[in-house]
Chains A and B, each alone.
Chain A
Amino acid sequence: EDKVVQSPLSLVVHEGDTVTLNCSYEVTNFRSLLWYKQEKKAPTFLFMLTSSGIEKKSGRLSSILDKKELFSILNITATQTGDSAVYLCAALTQGGSEKLVFGKGTKLTVNP
Protein backbone atom coordinates (compact mmCIF):
# COMPACT_ATOMS: atom_id res chain seq x y z
CA GLU A 1 0.00 0.00 0.00
CA ASP A 2 1.26 3.47 -0.89
CA LYS A 3 2.39 5.43 2.14
CA VAL A 4 3.66 8.95 2.93
CA VAL A 5 4.92 9.72 6.43
CA GLN A 6 5.63 13.20 7.74
CA SER A 7 7.54 14.20 10.84
CA PRO A 8 7.24 15.80 13.22
CA LEU A 9 3.44 15.84 13.45
CA SER A 10 3.58 19.17 15.24
CA LEU A 11 6.19 21.79 15.93
CA VAL A 12 6.18 24.99 17.99
CA VAL A 13 8.90 27.58 17.36
CA HIS A 14 9.60 31.26 17.94
CA GLU A 15 9.67 33.89 15.23
CA GLY A 16 13.04 33.96 13.54
CA ASP A 17 13.77 30.26 14.04
CA THR A 18 14.59 27.95 11.14
CA VAL A 19 12.58 24.76 10.77
CA THR A 20 12.98 21.57 8.78
CA LEU A 21 9.97 19.41 7.97
CA ASN A 22 10.48 15.82 6.86
CA CYS A 23 8.61 13.59 4.44
CA SER A 24 9.33 9.98 3.51
CA TYR A 25 7.42 7.97 0.96
CA GLU A 26 6.85 4.44 -0.27
CA VAL A 27 4.81 4.72 -3.44
CA THR A 28 4.62 2.51 -6.48
CA ASN A 29 4.66 4.39 -9.78
CA PHE A 30 6.14 7.48 -8.15
CA ARG A 31 6.25 10.58 -10.32
CA SER A 32 6.86 13.65 -8.14
CA LEU A 33 6.74 14.97 -4.59
CA LEU A 34 4.58 18.00 -3.79
CA TRP A 35 4.36 20.30 -0.78
CA TYR A 36 1.25 22.26 0.18
CA LYS A 37 0.45 24.75 2.93
CA GLN A 38 -2.98 24.41 4.51
CA GLU A 39 -4.40 27.11 6.70
CA LYS A 40 -8.13 27.14 7.42
CA LYS A 41 -9.19 26.19 3.94
CA ALA A 42 -7.71 25.10 0.62
CA PRO A 43 -4.24 23.54 0.48
CA THR A 44 -2.03 26.05 -1.31
CA PHE A 45 0.62 24.69 -3.67
CA LEU A 46 4.24 25.38 -2.68
CA PHE A 47 6.62 23.10 -4.60
CA MET A 48 6.72 20.19 -6.98
CA LEU A 49 9.93 18.14 -7.04
CA THR A 50 10.62 15.57 -9.72
CA SER A 51 14.41 15.33 -9.91
CA SER A 52 16.71 14.28 -7.11
CA GLY A 53 19.14 16.75 -5.57
CA ILE A 54 17.80 19.94 -7.16
CA GLU A 55 16.75 22.49 -4.56
CA LYS A 56 13.70 24.60 -5.24
CA LYS A 57 13.40 27.97 -3.50
CA SER A 58 10.69 30.52 -2.99
CA GLY A 59 11.58 33.33 -0.64
CA ARG A 60 12.30 31.86 2.79
CA LEU A 61 11.07 28.40 1.77
CA SER A 62 13.14 25.74 0.08
CA SER A 63 12.77 22.05 -0.61
CA ILE A 64 14.77 19.15 -1.97
CA LEU A 65 14.07 15.56 -2.98
CA ASP A 66 16.21 12.44 -2.53
CA LYS A 67 14.83 9.68 -4.77
CA LYS A 68 17.41 7.15 -3.63
CA GLU A 69 16.49 7.45 0.04
CA LEU A 70 12.82 8.24 -0.73
CA PHE A 71 12.46 11.44 1.25
CA SER A 72 12.09 15.16 0.96
CA ILE A 73 12.59 18.10 3.32
CA LEU A 74 10.98 21.50 3.47
CA ASN A 75 13.01 24.26 5.09
CA ILE A 76 11.63 27.55 6.33
CA THR A 77 14.15 30.16 7.46
CA ALA A 78 13.46 33.23 9.61
CA THR A 79 9.97 31.99 10.44
CA GLN A 80 7.10 34.45 10.87
CA THR A 81 3.74 34.07 12.58
CA GLY A 82 2.14 33.94 9.13
CA ASP A 83 3.97 30.68 8.49
CA SER A 84 1.74 28.98 11.08
CA ALA A 85 -0.18 26.31 9.17
CA VAL A 86 -0.31 22.61 8.43
CA TYR A 87 2.27 21.63 5.82
CA LEU A 88 1.26 18.71 3.66
CA CYS A 89 3.53 16.46 1.69
CA ALA A 90 2.09 14.37 -1.16
CA ALA A 91 3.45 11.86 -3.66
CA LEU A 92 2.07 12.07 -7.18
CA THR A 93 1.66 8.72 -8.90
CA GLN A 94 1.80 8.05 -12.61
CA GLY A 95 0.97 5.31 -15.08
CA GLY A 96 -2.58 5.47 -16.31
CA SER A 97 -3.99 7.20 -13.27
CA GLU A 98 -2.58 10.14 -11.42
CA LYS A 99 -3.39 10.81 -7.81
CA LEU A 100 -1.82 12.43 -4.79
CA VAL A 101 -1.01 10.27 -1.77
CA PHE A 102 -0.86 12.57 1.24
CA GLY A 103 0.87 12.39 4.57
CA LYS A 104 -0.99 13.50 7.69
CA GLY A 105 0.79 16.84 7.74
CA THR A 106 3.03 18.76 10.10
CA LYS A 107 1.28 21.42 12.17
CA LEU A 108 3.66 24.36 12.55
CA THR A 109 2.99 27.04 15.14
CA VAL A 110 5.20 30.13 15.12
CA ASN A 111 4.93 32.22 18.28
CA PRO A 112 5.86 35.90 18.36
Chain B
Amino acid sequence: NAGVMQNPRHLVRRRGQEARLRCSPMKGHSHVYWYRQLPEEGLKFMVYLQKENIIDESGMPKERFSAEFPKEGPSILRIQQVVRGDSAAYFCASSPGLSVEQYFGPGTRLTVT
Protein backbone atom coordinates (compact mmCIF):
# COMPACT_ATOMS: atom_id res chain seq x y z
CA ASN B 1 0.00 0.00 0.00
CA ALA B 2 1.68 3.17 -1.18
CA GLY B 3 1.86 5.98 1.30
CA VAL B 4 0.56 9.51 0.92
CA MET B 5 1.96 11.02 -2.28
CA GLN B 6 2.67 14.67 -2.80
CA ASN B 7 3.96 16.48 -5.84
CA PRO B 8 5.91 18.36 -6.69
CA ARG B 9 8.45 17.86 -3.91
CA HIS B 10 10.01 21.24 -4.59
CA LEU B 11 8.35 24.21 -6.24
CA VAL B 12 9.86 27.60 -7.01
CA ARG B 13 7.57 30.48 -7.90
CA ARG B 14 8.11 34.18 -8.44
CA ARG B 15 6.03 36.66 -6.51
CA GLY B 16 2.61 37.02 -8.08
CA GLN B 17 2.53 33.57 -9.69
CA GLU B 18 0.22 30.71 -8.74
CA ALA B 19 1.26 27.57 -6.90
CA ARG B 20 -0.62 24.26 -7.14
CA LEU B 21 0.25 21.51 -4.71
CA ARG B 22 -1.13 18.00 -5.15
CA CYS B 23 -1.84 15.27 -2.66
CA SER B 24 -2.96 11.69 -3.28
CA PRO B 25 -4.10 10.05 -0.02
CA MET B 26 -3.34 6.48 0.95
CA LYS B 27 -5.59 3.90 -0.68
CA GLY B 28 -8.85 3.63 1.21
CA HIS B 29 -8.43 7.00 2.95
CA SER B 30 -11.18 9.52 2.35
CA HIS B 31 -10.07 12.23 4.80
CA VAL B 32 -7.37 14.69 3.74
CA TYR B 33 -5.67 17.39 5.82
CA TRP B 34 -3.21 20.12 4.82
CA TYR B 35 -0.62 21.55 7.20
CA ARG B 36 2.01 24.25 6.75
CA GLN B 37 5.41 24.31 8.40
CA LEU B 38 7.17 27.66 8.46
CA PRO B 39 10.88 27.87 9.30
CA GLU B 40 11.43 27.45 13.06
CA GLU B 41 7.70 26.87 13.57
CA GLY B 42 5.61 23.80 14.26
CA LEU B 43 3.16 22.31 11.81
CA LYS B 44 -0.02 24.40 11.57
CA PHE B 45 -3.37 23.07 10.45
CA MET B 46 -4.82 24.67 7.33
CA VAL B 47 -7.79 22.69 6.03
CA TYR B 48 -9.64 19.38 6.40
CA LEU B 49 -11.49 17.87 3.44
CA GLN B 50 -13.48 14.82 2.58
CA LYS B 51 -14.41 13.87 -0.97
CA GLU B 52 -16.04 16.92 -2.60
CA ASN B 53 -16.47 18.66 0.77
CA ILE B 54 -14.49 21.16 2.80
CA ILE B 55 -15.12 20.23 6.44
CA ASP B 56 -12.95 22.80 8.22
CA GLU B 57 -10.91 25.58 6.63
CA SER B 58 -10.39 27.57 9.81
CA GLY B 59 -6.60 27.49 9.40
CA MET B 60 -6.53 28.81 5.84
CA PRO B 61 -5.71 32.46 5.14
CA LYS B 62 -8.88 34.16 3.97
CA GLU B 63 -7.42 35.37 0.70
CA ARG B 64 -5.40 33.73 -2.08
CA PHE B 65 -5.61 30.19 -0.63
CA SER B 66 -8.10 27.53 -1.66
CA ALA B 67 -8.34 23.76 -1.46
CA GLU B 68 -10.36 21.04 -3.08
CA PHE B 69 -10.70 17.27 -3.01
CA PRO B 70 -12.69 16.26 -6.09
CA LYS B 71 -14.55 13.01 -6.57
CA GLU B 72 -11.79 11.82 -8.87
CA GLY B 73 -8.13 12.74 -8.59
CA PRO B 74 -5.88 14.23 -5.95
CA SER B 75 -6.54 16.96 -3.46
CA ILE B 76 -5.21 20.34 -4.61
CA LEU B 77 -3.99 23.23 -2.49
CA ARG B 78 -3.89 26.37 -4.59
CA ILE B 79 -2.12 29.58 -3.69
CA GLN B 80 -2.75 32.54 -5.94
CA GLN B 81 -0.44 35.55 -6.27
CA VAL B 82 2.21 34.07 -4.02
CA VAL B 83 4.27 36.29 -1.72
CA ARG B 84 7.60 35.63 0.01
CA GLY B 85 5.80 34.83 3.26
CA ASP B 86 4.19 31.80 1.59
CA SER B 87 7.59 30.08 1.43
CA ALA B 88 7.21 27.00 3.62
CA ALA B 89 6.86 23.24 3.60
CA TYR B 90 3.30 22.12 2.92
CA PHE B 91 2.35 18.69 4.21
CA CYS B 92 -0.66 16.63 3.37
CA ALA B 93 -2.00 13.90 5.64
CA SER B 94 -4.75 11.33 5.23
CA SER B 95 -6.78 9.04 7.44
CA PRO B 96 -9.37 6.33 6.79
CA GLY B 97 -11.91 7.83 9.16
CA LEU B 98 -12.45 9.89 12.27
CA SER B 99 -10.53 9.64 15.54
CA VAL B 100 -7.63 7.68 14.08
CA GLU B 101 -4.04 8.53 13.27
CA GLN B 102 -3.16 10.69 10.28
CA TYR B 103 -0.41 9.59 7.90
CA PHE B 104 1.76 12.25 6.32
CA GLY B 105 3.19 12.69 2.86
CA PRO B 106 6.77 13.86 2.19
CA GLY B 107 5.71 17.47 1.76
CA THR B 108 6.12 20.12 -0.91
CA ARG B 109 8.73 22.76 -0.23
CA LEU B 110 7.57 26.02 -1.79
CA THR B 111 10.09 28.78 -2.36
CA VAL B 112 8.89 32.19 -3.51
CA THR B 113 11.58 34.37 -5.08
Contacts and interface: CB of A to CB of B under 8 A. Distances in A.
Interface residues of B, number: 27
Contacts of B58: 97
Nearest to B43: A102
A103 B42 CA distance: 6
A100 B99 contact: no
B41 A45 contact: no
A99 interface: yes
Given A42-B4, A102-B43, A105-B42, A31 B101 contact: no
Interface in B76-113: 91, 93, 98-107
Contacts of B41: 104
A98 B42 contact: no
Interface string B34-57: 010000011111001000000110
Contacts of B99: 31-32, 92, 94, 98
Interface residues of A, number: 25
B43 A88 contact: yes
B69 interface: no
Nearest to B93: A100
A43 interface: yes
Most buried by A among B35, B48, B93, B101: B101
B110 to A, nearest CB: 15
Nearest to B99: A31
B59 interface: yes
7 contacts: A42-B107, A43-B104, A48-B101, A96-B56, A100-B43, A103-B42, A104-B42
